[in-house]
Amino acid sequence: MRRLLTIILLASSLSAYRLYAAEPLHLSASQPRFCGAWVATVANIDWPRPNTVGNPAQQETDLVNLIDSLSALGVNALVFQVRPTADALYQSSLEPVSHWLTGEQSTLNSKLSTLNYFDPLAVALREAHKRHMEVHAWLNPFRVNINSMTKDVLCPDHVFYRHPEWFWKYGEQWYFDPGLQETRDWICAVVKDIITHYDVDAIHMDDYFYPYPIAGQTLPDKQTFLTHARGFNDIEDWRRDNVNLTIEQISATIRSTRPQVQFGISPFGINATNYNSLYADILLWAEKGWIDYVIPQLYWPIDSNSPNTDYATLAAWWAKQLEPYKTALYTGHAVYRMKSGKANNPWQLGDELIRQRLVNKSLPKITGECYYSAHHVFNYPNVFLTPLFTY
């Protein structure tokens, strides 16, 4: 009876959060494993909602409600995107306040308080830690913009304009040049700024290192390679080393500043793509002890038409490869696909996530899951509450 009363009270307290939840939520069973949700801020995917940009009061209310609702479903780690496009959803002295938050990128010296804004990362930490949830600060290291965002969005004193020699363009996007020590130092300065001023539990990066290949286009880094080859003769080996140096330096920055902060990577689910196209050598980083956890994005179903994209095959591969190392392994799940309208979509059968969790249960190396993205979690709350889903 007491449990029933608790559930009723909790559902009542969360009913106002229908902006994100499809129905009132309920208290989940105890969740000892890592259970994360990515909160994407780029393009206002999860938060803040597009119609609240420039409305700090509503944004703060939404953020608190989002965290409260995720906690009620058993999510115990908030992977919060705080640097989507070389900007900040926190108080930074290095990069401007994000236009995804305010509608217009601030000048570098602007403070959130002078813009009549709250500090999103500070609020996320306060609310999440109050609920015994971790906060992983999610950064995109090299990306400056996305296709729908021109460089004109960048404020006049952005580092992009102060050091144009640090950047190159590929497709419609601009990137920090990974081949320059100056850009590696800059990214490490950003990381140090965050972990010095905020009590985050982890620094998190996903699959965006070198950009995904564009047909018919070549990466514009030949001159950097010729100038800063560091003894390499093969440009692809050099690119991998550029990212290796970045990860090693970030890891050292974290260890020397606040060693209790974790460093995690969420790579593309097929490692050949990481290694050959994004120049991210995930297994080397685990072997060297530079990273604390890996969350491969295994966004395919079980019994896929191709063995290369079969969830069970990929989960077993990652578990085997990471077994010798201390690096923790969690799996990334595509809850956004559960609303796909495509014919014969296995996600719409309702049990795909449960089946994937049962695969994980058979692989002891896998000790947690993470879901992309946060607002999609609420489309099927009963999936998260089934007895098979927690163990």
What pLDDT digit, counting tens, does each position of 293-310 carry?
999 999 999 987 777 899
Confidence label for 25 from pLDDT (cuts 50, 70 and 90)? very low
DSSP notation for 193-216: HHHHHS--SEEEE-S-SSPPP-TT
- Taking CB atoms within 8 Å and a gap of at least 24, the contacts of 156-161 are 156/107, 157/96, 157/107, 157/108, 157/109, 158/86, 158/95, 158/96, 158/105, 158/108, 159/86, 159/94, 159/95, 159/186, 160/86
- Residue appearing with tokens 């795909």: 352
Q: What is the pLDDT of residue 263?
A: 98
Longest dimension (CA), the chain: 72
Q: What is the pLDDT of residue 18?
A: 37
Closest Cα to residue 264, out of 251, 278, 281, 277? 251
pLDDT digits (tens, 9 = 90+) for 180-201: 999 999 999 999 999 999 999 9
Q: Between the CA of residue 152 and those of 41, 155, 273, what are the distances in Å?
A: 19, 8, 32
Closest Cα to residue 209, out of 254, 178, 163, 238? 178
Give the predicted TM-score (pTM) of the model. Answer: 0.91
* Contacts of residue 151, Cβ cutoff 8 Å, sequence gap at least 6: 144, 145, 160, 174
pLDDT digits (tens, 9 = 90+) for 319-342: 999 999 999 999 999 999 887 656
Angle at 248 between CA 210 and CA 43, to 5 degrees: 40
pLDDT digits (tens, 9 = 90+) for 248-263: 999 999 999 999 999 9
